[in-house]
Amino acid sequence: MSTLKRSLYVPSPAEDAVINAGIAGDADTYALSNAELKQLKPMRGRPVGSKAARTKVVMSMRVDAEVLEHLKSQGRGWQTRINNALKMLIAEHKL
C-alpha cells in the first residue's frame, strides 16, 4: 500500500493577486452576500436518494488463484463482473 505525501502550497502575494484578478474577471463567479451566507445550512450525511434500493453484502469466498488473477487482470470493476456472472448463472440454471 502506498502512502501519499500531503502538502499544502500557499501562493505568494503576487500569485494570489493574479488568482484574485482572474476570479474578478470571470463572469461565471458570484460572491454571496452576508444575508445569503446566513441562509446557508450545513448538510449532514449522504445526499437524499443516494442509497441503493438493494444493498450488497460483504462476504468472503475462496476461489482458485488463477481465477482471481484473471478477473483482476481485466481492470477495475472485476467484483461487479463476478456479481453479474453469478446472476447470469442463477438465471440460466435456476439455482
CA atoms within 13 Å, Cβ hemisphere of 31: 7
Considering the entire predicted model, what is its pTM?
0.42
83 closest CA partner among 94, 93, 71, 73: 71
User: What does the pLDDT look like over 17-74, one tens digit per residue?
Assistant: 999 999 888 988 888 889 999 998 887 776 666 666 677 888 899 999 999 999 999 9
pLDDT at position 72 is 92
pLDDT over threshold 80, residue 84: yes
